[in-house]
Amino acid sequence: MTLSESAAAPVNEVVLEAVGLTKHFPVRKRLRDLFSRTPTAVHAVDDVSFALRRGQVTALVGESGSGKSTVARLLAQLHRRTAGDIRLHGVSTTVRGGRAFRSYVRRVQLILQDPFASLNPVHTIRYHLTRSLRIHGNAGRTAEDLEKALGELLTRVSLTPAERYLDAFPHELSGGQRQRVAIARALGADPEVLLADEPVSMLDVSIRLGVLNLLRDLKDRLNLAILYITHDIASARYFADETIVMYAGRMVEGGDSETVTQNPAHPYTRLLIESAPDPDRITGAADATGQDRGNGEPPSLIRPPAGCRFHPRCPHVMPRCKVDLPLRLEIADRPGHWAACWLYDPATVAAEGSASAAPDADPTIGPPPAARTGPRSSAPAVPLIHRAEDAR
Ligand SMILES: Nc1ncnc2c1ncn2[C@@H]1O[C@H](COP(=O)(O)OP(=O)(O)O)[C@@H](O)[C@H]1O
Ligand SMILES: [Mg+2]
């Protein structure tokens, strides 16, 4: 068995890269649109770029429908992309089935949200793991090799003694144990990248931490690059080195997890953090105003709003936001922290003045980013600035 403790490989080396990744799903036209020439499509993912590095967890955070799973499926080569590129070790990669797909999957494995649906109920754990080892050429030559490899896989995911689990059926295991089996099956390929699409969302709260800790331990020991998809930004802070926030198919903010979660710059990230249930706030002054903290619904992705897709919900909306697509603008508080938001454009701030940069500011979600104070805002009152388009 070749499960490598790949300590020799350089840490932080980019393994898999999304470059301007875009996916539009065509939709069938309604009768009254039949003669219109405009193609109709769900703009599920638009211009998404990030890099997954060895020994690092990158979190992709956003509410339901923001395009997170589509990004995972594109990276797993399960969808054909509309535009953009996927680079594995710097090489542009497009595979459709066959041997090339198998060789890609050996390096990039996808773990899904529902471990019960992803395991076949009529087969034992031994069957699932053996199949993965065989397909990816890690089963060894003899029956003993195989048995040893199976034992190693289950030990890696802390299902010991292995004999207790090997001949069990999925329904005989708990949700957490099933997810561990799904992870073991992915490890059977000896991958470099794990794409974990909401891997703990279906699990009881009490066992989520155990599975996240397991993934973190595997990342360290096997030097894996992990994409951790979640709608729970708090878990991203705990688990991920880097966090990227998506809204309605576009990336709106990114940076190291601590900065993005503790010092969020984009109004959407701030809303996401503020809308997590907090017992102190439920009885707090903000609630007394009777304002809706949720502040609206995500937009239609068939006709997404022009300019910034968040503008219809944004408490700091400016006329420009309704027309111009915001660029990624670097925030001066930490290297690598950026937001796609005009509030951080020097021209906007100069024109509006930092105090009035947020004319419609909603008091329920705190001061506009440009006016933040507090221990982390060693950033200037105008936390600017240069274009980060090239810094992908
Ligand atoms: N196969 C598909 N065909 C058409 N639309 C799709 C398909 N898959 C996803 N979508 C749409 O793309 C958008 C993003 O979906 P998804 O990536 O599943 O979001 P998330 O994982 O963030 O909840 C949604 O509006 C969804 O309805
Ligand atoms: Mg999803």
Q: What's the 3-state SS for 114-167?
A: CHHHHCCCCCCHHHHHHHHHHHCCCCCCCHHHHHHHHHHHHHHCCCCCHHHHHC
Note whether residue 142 is domain-resident: yes
Q: How many CB atoms lie within 10 A of CB 189?
A: 21
**How many domains, in total, are found in the chain?**
2
Dihedral sign computed on CA atoms, order 98, 138, 110, 185: positive
Asked whether residue 254 carries a pLDDT value surpassing 60, the answer given is yes
Note whether residue 250 is domain-resident: no
Residue 13 exposed, middle or buried by CB count within 10 Å (0-12, 13-18, 19+): middle
Residue pLDDT, tens place only, 333-387 = 889 999 999 999 988 767 765 444 444 444 344 444 443 433 333 333 333 334 4
The C-alpha atoms of residue 105 and residue 346 are separated, in whole angstroms, by 44
Largest CA distance in the chain: 73
Domain match, 199 and 82 both: yes
Ligand 1 atom index nearest CA of 231: 22
Ligand 1 atom index nearest CA of 25: 4
Note whether residue 165 is domain-resident: yes
Domain match, 321 and 203 both: no
Using DSSP, how many helices (H) and how many strands (E) does the chain show? 14, 12
CA of 202 to the centre of ligand 2 (A): 12
Domain match, 47 and 135 both: yes
Could you give the percent of the chain with pLDDT greater than 90?
Answer: 68
Domain match, 229 and 371 both: no
- The residue nearest atom 4 of ligand 1, judged by CA position, is 25
The two tokens of residue 197 are 């699409």
Note whether residue 245 is domain-resident: no
**Mean pLDDT on 69-96:** 95
State pTM to two decimals.
Answer: 0.85
Domain match, 234 and 328 both: no
Q: How many CB atoms lie within 10 A of CB 63?
A: 16
Ligand 1 atom index nearest CA of 79: 1
Domain match, 168 and 317 both: no
CATH number at residue 181: 3.40.50.300
The two tokens of residue 136 are 């990816």
CA of 68 to the centre of ligand 1 (A): 8
57 sits in which H/E element:
strand 57-61
The set of protein residues with a Cβ atom below 6 angstroms from ligand 1 is: 25, 42, 44, 62, 64-70, 301
Q: Quote the domain boundaries for residue 369.
A: 273-335+342-391
Asked whether residue 313 carries a pLDDT value surpassing 60, the answer given is yes
Residue pLDDT, tens place only, 136-179 = 999 999 999 999 999 999 999 999 999 999 999 999 999 999 99
Note whether residue 351 is domain-resident: yes
Domain match, 358 and 209 both: no
The C-alpha atoms of residue 158 and residue 218 are separated, in whole angstroms, by 11
Domain match, 201 and 82 both: yes
Domain match, 137 and 65 both: yes
